[in-house]
Structure 1
Amino acid sequence: MKRAAIVLTTGFEEIEAIAPMDILRRAGVEVDIVGVSANMVKGSHDLTISTDKELLNVMNDLYDVLILPGGMPGAKLLKNHQAVQDFVKLHYDAGKIIAANCAAPIAIESSGALQDRNYTCYPGFEKQISDGHFTGDFVHQDGRVITGSGPAAAFEFSYTIVEALGIDAAPLREAMGYNRLVE
């Protein structure tokens, strides 16, 4: 079974965390909600999520995909937290999928994940990223790095992760009514 870790800290964008949680679980992926420093984390719109594990307890675990939702101040806190940076680098160096939505691409740059890659992010945050090439796409996959442009991209971002894990997302898109949205 494929495994995913979604890393949360104070001020995460709720839909960017919940959509991948739900969609990946529907796809049969084991998803751990990893709190940076607590077992209850409050999002940027005051929704509190209970985490499954604390980051310090999984620092040596390897997941098939590591997911960072954006939101403020969440993305900035992820960028400035050394254990998060070490966790991202561990996964990137091990050849795992790194996925960051909205402002969160600022939190994966120091791992080298964006170097010589195309990426997207919430408009304006590309100014805080010196590596890679900003595309402005809704969702962009460049090899094993997947980036999204914000809350509206949360579903497409999640389906792209499912596909990158080698799972057919077409049945999910149909069953969840997503195809009607994009027709």
Structure 2
Amino acid sequence: MDTRRETDMTEITKARILIIATHGFEQSELEVPRDKLRDAGAQVHVASPDGNEIKGWDGDGWGRMAEVDLRIEDADSTQYDALVLPGGQINPDILRLDPAAIALIQAFRDRDRPVAAICHAPWLLIEAGLVAGREVTSWPSLRTDLANAGAQVVDVPVARDRGLITSRNPDDFDAFVAAIIEEVEKGQIRADAA
């Protein structure tokens, strides 16, 4: 059971962060946030649908494998301080049809924990019902989908709205990871939701 109160803050060096992905994740969009968050001192786990390692997409073809720590359905949102969703076209398109992935995303938001999505990953936020009335950004081809789901779409390196963090593409990594760290350390997502 989660014993943290809404007002509790977590130093990034004590934070536990979960990344969920499947085959076809954009290589850099999993690896760079994972590595930067680890370098900042966070414990970062990766979950996939079956708990097995997953293959990235890099440029015009398949990339490297990424190690995986657990299955998505075994992930417990009460054990993590934030959720990160890498993009790529294939990965979020598959995961948005995975009930366990969508339920986990919703569980993080129900607990008022940060959820960060980059590039095509906001498709998952749409499927989880999290974008209506929120300011978000994404890869350009998703912006109509986001607007149709009720989001306020902006074209900025990172959009932050009550713990929901979105970025456009790998050019935004520095702002994206900095926003994740700040939201984790800030806590009090509910306090922002006036």
TM-score computed with the length of structure 1 as normaliser: 0.85
Map of 1:175 onto structure 2: none
Map of 2:47 onto structure 1: 34
| 1:113-124 → structure 2 map (5 Å cutoff) | 113-124=130-141
Contact 2:77–2:108 (CA under 8 A) maintained in structure 1: no
Q: Match for 1:145: what amino acid?
A: L
| Count of residues in correspondence between the two structures | 167
1:162 aligns with 2:181: yes
Following TM superposition, by how much is the alpha carbon of 1:162 offset from its aligned partner in structure 2, in angstroms?
0.9
Q: Match for 2:166: what amino acid?
A: T
Map of 1:25 onto structure 2: 38
* 4+ residue runs over 6 A deviation: none
Contact 1:37–1:55 (CA under 8 A) maintained in structure 2: yes
Distance 2:158 2:112 in 1: 21
Contact 2:120–2:138 (CA under 8 A) maintained in structure 1: yes
Return 86-95 or 43-52, whichever deviates more.
43-52
Distance 1:165 1:122 in 2: 24
Map of 2:121 onto structure 1: 104
Map of 1:181 onto structure 2: none
**Structure 1 unaligned blocks of 5 or more:** 168-183
Task: Select which of 141, 145, 165 maps to 1:146.
Answer: 165
Distance 2:171 2:95 in 1: 21
Contact 2:21–2:92 (CA under 8 A) maintained in structure 1: no
Map of 1:56 onto structure 2: 73
State percent identity of aligned pairs.
27
Distance 1:59 1:82 in 2: 15
Map of 1:178 onto structure 2: none
Contact 1:119–1:134 (CA under 8 A) maintained in structure 2: yes
Map of 2:151 onto structure 1: 132
Following TM superposition, by how much is the alpha carbon of 1:109 offset from its aligned partner in structure 2, in angstroms?
1.9
Following TM superposition, by how much is the alpha carbon of 1:149 offset from its aligned partner in structure 2, in angstroms?
0.1
Following TM superposition, by how much is the alpha carbon of 1:61 offset from its aligned partner in structure 2, in angstroms?
4.4
Return 33-42 or 62-71, whichever deviates more.
33-42
**Secondary structure of 1:37 counterpart:** coil
Task: Select which of 82, 105, 109 maps to 2:99.
Answer: 82
1:9 aligns with 2:22: yes
Map of 2:87 onto structure 1: 70
Following TM superposition, by how much is the alpha carbon of 1:62 offset from its aligned partner in structure 2, in angstroms?
3.9
TM-score computed with the length of structure 2 as normaliser: 0.81
Q: Match for 1:142: what amino acid?
A: D
